[in-house]
Structure 1
Amino acid sequence: MQEITFRAMGCQMLAALDADTAEAGEALRNVPVWFEIWERTLSRFRPGSELSRLNARTGQWVAVSQTLWDVLHAALRAARHTHGLVIPTALSAMQAIGYTRTFEEMSSERVEVTLTVTPPAHLGDWENIQMDAANRAVWVPPGALLDLGGVAKGWCADQAARRLATYGPALVDAGGDIAIAPAADRATEFPIGIAAPAGHSPTPDALLGTITLRAGGVATSGRDYRRWQTGAREVHHLIDPRTGEPAQTDALTATAIAPTAVQAEAVAKAALLLGSEEGLAWAESQDDTATLLVCEDGRIVHTPNFPLLRSV
């Protein structure tokens, strides 16, 4: 087993490849390069990124790269699948609560802004985004700002794992969005730790337990980590499109398993926003997924098909 760790997209990344050849090692060393290329395209925090340029040209048809096309297509599919809970048009709402820089840049500061609430109707502009496949062009409604966020991370994890699987079974962890791809001739059971919510366990980085997977995606969404002070108010980054504000939910974290990391990301976030009761019921209705939620009162609830947590 060979591994590489690096930072990208404001997160700690890990890529692991169950192959000991020199070619496999070279492929692993290329993973940070792939993520840098993707980040130049997809980051809302980089003024020169392709996404930032698209955000500056709302109300116009804009030809886009294959990468941006694919990720935006995945984001719109997630929005439809979650009935508008996981959307690509939440950037204005995040900016309104002070999330204007990477969390690394914000974490040690007190962010002073005047809070505004983005009307849900504005957040619903994702439904009016148009995509012209013949010309690979996109039209975003005037004033609607895109943040591809977790969908972009999941997409990158899926892509990297598939590329690495040419050399052997692979796992890519993109800041909690995990993709596992088997090789053509074999698969490896990768252990995956399910983290306890930050600040709600006796030790930092504590785990609820571990699961093992041979293929698919795993993602955890939570309101326990990316939190900051905005004036006198503590807020977090998970916007509920129904209100335009940080989500008020009894779920602290949600972990989902799905065929891809992108799908797992969407299911986890939607379940979290819906809360433990409605979110669990919705998750149980989803095909090919399994979901676990950790509640504010310490309860752990999950769909019947969620794998047994092994103690650590």
Structure 2
Amino acid sequence: MERAVLIPAAIDPVLPPSGSRPHTLAGTSMGTGWSARFMVPPSAPPGLEGGLRRLLQAELDLVVAQMSHWEPDSLLSRFNAAPAGSWIDLPDAFYDVIDYALRVRDDTHGAYDPAAGALVNLWGFGPVRRYDQAGFYAPAADAVAAVMAQRGAARVELDRERRRLLQPGGALLDLSSVAKGYAVDRLTLCLDRHGLRHHVVEAGGELRGAGVKEDGQPWWVEVEGVPDADTPQAVVALHGLAIATSGDYRRYFEPVQGRRASHTLDPRTGWPIAHDTASVTVLAPTCMAADALSTALTVLGPEDGLAFAEERAIAARFLVRRSAGLVESSSSAWRQLLE
């Protein structure tokens, strides 16, 4: 079977300056690895690469300091611990992320919710009482109902004019489905600021690319597949595009009522998704959007999610588990990228 190839309609033909050389930087952050590959023009100042590594790491450290639910001193953790009625002033990075996340929440009528941290913790996918630790057990239905009732009375609200966030009391933010994508965007913007417009950056499997390599080829990446599936995966030219995949194979336990309990929870029900979606991949101009939308579409499922993607021209691919194997479906915007 031939591989599908996805290429954006608009390709900037400008090549890296003659004599540019490839360089790679890498490190760790947010419990995963990150990397940046870029073309260094001959006009770059000596030692640029070493300074860039510190700058890129600082971008990631900023995201962790503001948005990590693992760090007790992060801004997110301080918001989660704030008393009811507190208004928390937001720095630009946190504001940009929560603003976008809440817009997706409203657009999906709650299928995506950055304030689902209590559910994440209850199901063992948060920083404590982990699903993969000894003694963990799946929550009972009454425990799920209790958390859902508490969440219903604790809806976070963003004051966009004053750029502040209301802690209604007991609301727990979890930005893990959007902050990593935002961090990838910060890496690419950092490279842009230093004149390195030809690059691809990655963190935890989420990527964003711009420009081309020294031979004029775009940055080719393979679309993430489902483990143990033997179907060839498409390749994408990451030229002004970002890509993110949400999958039920990353963190899960089983069985719960005879089903796999994925880390992707439906904030509307309080339970793991139950429609056999194995993965959703989204291509978007920013990695923050690809990250959040891949999660939102996974919750919505192959029918409602595909309809949502069609209405909004989102490039999305669904892989759904069926008795005969994985079944693929995709949006029109995805198919329009196919070569």
* TM-score, normalised by the number of residues in structure 2: 0.78
User: Which amino acid counterpart does residue 158 of structure 1 have in structure 2?
Assistant: D
Is the aligned partner of 1:218 residue 2:243? yes
Q: Which piece of structure 1 moves more, 248-257 or 72-81? A: 72-81
Is the aligned partner of 1:255 residue 2:281? yes
- Aligned pairs (5 A) from 1:122-271: 122-123=150-151, 128-131=156-159, 133-134=161-162, 136-165=163-192, 166-182=195-211, 189-198=218-227, 200-201=228-229, 208-228=233-253, 235-271=261-297
Give the deviation of 1:125 after TM superposition.
6.2
Is the aligned partner of 1:87 residue 2:108? no
Q: C-alpha distance in 1, partners of 2:135/2:33?
A: 24
Gaps of 5+ in 1: none
Is the aligned partner of 1:45 residue 2:70? yes
Give the deviation of 1:120 after TM superposition.
4.4
Q: C-alpha distance in 1, partners of 2:276/2:241?
A: 28
* Residue 301 of structure 1: aligned partner: 329
Is the aligned partner of 1:292 residue 2:321? no
Give the deviation of 1:122 after TM superposition.
4.5
Match 2:33 to one of 12, 26, 47: 12
Q: C-alpha distance in 2, partners of 1:245/1:170?
A: 39
Q: C-alpha distance in 1, partners of 2:256/2:302?
A: 29
Give the deviation of 1:207 after TM superposition.
6.0
Q: In the alignment, is the contact (CA less than 8 A) between 2:210 and 2:238 conserved in 1?
A: no
Q: Pick 1 or 2: higher relative contact order, CA cutoff 8 A, min separation 6.
A: 2
Q: C-alpha distance in 1, partners of 2:220/2:265?
A: 31
Deviations, residues 244-302 of structure 1 (Å, cap 9, x unaligned): 11111221000011121121122222221122222222211113x21111111211111
Give the deviation of 1:159 after TM superposition.
1.6
Q: In the alignment, is the contact (CA less than 8 A) between 2:125 and 2:263 conserved in 1?
A: yes
User: Which amino acid counterpart does residue 261 of structure 2 have in structure 1?
Assistant: V
Gaps of 5+ in 2: 1-21
Give the deviation of 1:81 after TM superposition.
2.7
User: Which amino acid counterpart does residue 222 of structure 2 have in structure 1?
Assistant: G
Give the deviation of 1:182 after TM superposition.
4.4
Deviations, residues 34-59 of structure 1 (Å, cap 9, x unaligned): 21232121100111111101110042
Identity of aligned residues (%): 26
Q: C-alpha distance in 1, partners of 2:204/2:279?
A: 15
CA RMSD of aligned residues (A): 2.9
Q: C-alpha distance in 2, partners of 1:111/1:172?
A: 38
Q: C-alpha distance in 1, partners of 2:113/2:154?
A: 7
Larger Rg: 2
* TM-score, normalised by the number of residues in structure 1: 0.84
Q: In the alignment, is the contact (CA less than 8 A) between 1:162 and 1:181 conserved in 2?
A: no
